[in-house]
Amino acid sequence: MEALTRWTDRLIGLSAFVGTAGLLFVVGVILVDVIGRNFGRPLYGAQDMVTMTMVLIVFGGMALCDRLDGHIVVDIFEGSFPEWLNRVIDIASALLGAVIFALIAWAIWNSAQLSQMLNLSTNLLRLPLAWFQYAVVAFSGVTVLALLMRAGLLLAGAPRKSAEGAL
């Protein structure tokens, strides 16, 4: 169990690293494009780079978001539920999330194969869509692991909320 947790945490850290690096890359791309354009030399395919990197940003942070308990909940009745019920809801929610991300991974895996068959790519730079769809599949897979780990830890009696300071 501990080894599993450690490896899952490493994968979560790795996907967050890709997402964070992607965000900084996008800032750079926009800056170079804006400056270049106003001197008549825009960055060729800037929009292709921005939109495809955005996929990495959005899904790269998904597993860490869950690890840090970052998914938004309506907590109006939390205080009036007994502790055991809150725990059951948390475990069920984590399992539901795992199913959802597994479905996302499966659906996008199918689309990625279709993208390869249809030779789909971005319009200017010809970046293959399938690369980024497989990235979503991988990141979603890590998120499934993170959610299963949450469910497992809660079942084993871990405290319900992760430390806020971790952010």
CA distance 154 to 150: 6
Identify which range of 3-11, 109-117, 150-158 contacts other proteins by CB under 8 A.
109-117
Q: Determine the Cα angle at 66 with ends 65 and 69, to 5°.
A: 90
Among 14, 23, 91, 138, binds other proteins (CB under 8 A): 23
40 lies in the binding site for other proteins (CB under 8 A): yes
Among 60, 134, 145, 150, binds other proteins (CB under 8 A): 60
84 lies in the binding site for other proteins (CB under 8 A): no
Cross-strand pairs, 22 = none
91 lies in the binding site for other proteins (CB under 8 A): no
Say if CB 127 and CB 48 are below 8 A apart: yes
CA distance 144 to 154: 15
Identify which range of 2-10, 72-80, 150-158 contacts other proteins by CB under 8 A.
72-80
113 lies in the binding site for other proteins (CB under 8 A): no
162 lies in the binding site for other proteins (CB under 8 A): no
The nearest distance, CB 120 to other proteins, in angstroms, is: 5
User: What are the tokens at 54?
Assistant: 């955005």
